[in-house]
Amino acid sequence: MSRHEQFAAAADGRTLCFAEWGDPDGFPVFTLHGTPGGRLNRHPDESRYAEAGARIITYDRPGYGGSDRDPGRMVVDCVADVAAIADALSIETFSVAGGSGGGPHALAVAARLPDRVVRARCDVGCAPYPSDGLDWLAGMDPKNVAEFGRALEGEASLLSYVVKHLAEMVANVAEDPSKILDGFELSEADRAVLQRTELAQVIREATEDLARGGPWGWVDDDLVLVKPWGFDISEIRVPVEVRYGLTDVLVPAAHGDWLAAHVPNATVVTEAGKGHLSDLDKVVETTRWLVTGTY
């Protein structure tokens, strides 16, 4: 069995597909993918994870890639799935990080597994919908506003949108992986990340696997973000880093500001020159914090 395609059983019998990267003997770190995404979303050079002392575990949330769909799921439902994968790997304690749509899921794991999670990071994650004092859609790219508008209308409306845009994404990536977010008015920082040649193969592989899984993971991810998450971030008691870029047009900085103010005792990192996408050159530094708590 490939390290990059392994399987575990969820508590209710669903199949969960996961992957491991970096040092097999390193400290375990679950990294939860964005929306849309999957277990193949990772740094293009996994030796950088090993350099940071990390054993990275990624998994397809329900409906993505090789994981069975869980209709009607909530953000908090990921907690049991992460625990099931950790149990299958005989991992007792670990760190967890999530980017973009994975951010709320990482916060859920931090809130509900305080005896197992030692550190957590929410990177460019969105705030709950709705949130007092936050205009949730303000500052988002028009394509994101349209997508979440469909989510607020319900599953049927969103499904037709996602089917169309998933097909467009697959076609764009087949032509040029840097066009995965074609049509978005991205910041200069994000455009630069997408031009990195070493990222092209990761984008191809992840997009092919996304297409294999079909639209439901994406649909359900959008739906969970605009309904109650099933937990309150005030429950969190483990160390959490809230990190976000100030030029992000997919999850605007106002979401990071809100989380920074509401996640208990959060360490806040704002990056003036960063947009939505991770800085590939900082992966050792950012991963090391999840392993050791220091930079």
**For the chain, counts of helices (H) and of strands (E):** 10, 8
CA distances from 67 to 36, 42, 126, 210 (A): 14, 18, 24, 11
- The confidence score (pLDDT) of residue 295 equals 85
Report the C-alpha gap between 252 and 244 in whole angstroms: 9
Residue 109: in which H helix or E strand, if any? Answer: helix 102-112
CA distances from 180 to 62, 87, 123 (A): 22, 35, 20
Phi, psi of 173, deg, nearest 5: -65, -35
Domains by residue range for the chain, with CATH? 6-292 (3.40.50.1820)
* Nearest residue to 120 via CA among 274, 289, 282: 289
Per-residue pLDDT of the chain (295 residues), as tens digits, is: 699 999 999 999 999 999 999 999 999 999 999 999 999 999 999 999 999 999 999 999 999 999 999 999 999 999 999 999 999 999 999 999 999 999 999 999 999 999 999 999 999 999 999 999 999 999 999 999 999 999 999 999 999 999 999 999 999 999 999 999 999 999 999 999 999 999 999 999 999 999 999 999 999 999 999 999 999 999 999 999 999 999 999 999 999 999 999 999 999 999 998 999 999 999 999 999 999 999 8
Say which DSSP state 125 is in: P
Contacts of 257 (CB under 8 A, 6+ apart): none
Is the pTM value of this prediction over 0.95? yes
- The confidence score (pLDDT) of residue 1 equals 64
Sheet holding 240-245, edge to edge: 6-9, 15-22, 54-59, 27-32, 94-99, 117-123, 240-245, 267-271
CB 285 within 8 A of CB 53: no
Contacts of 232 (CB under 8 A, 6+ apart): 111
What one-character-per-residue DSSP string does 29-79 give? EEEE--SS--TT-S-S-THHHHHTTEEEEEEPPTTSTTSPP-TT--GGGHH
Structure tokens at 164: 């169309």
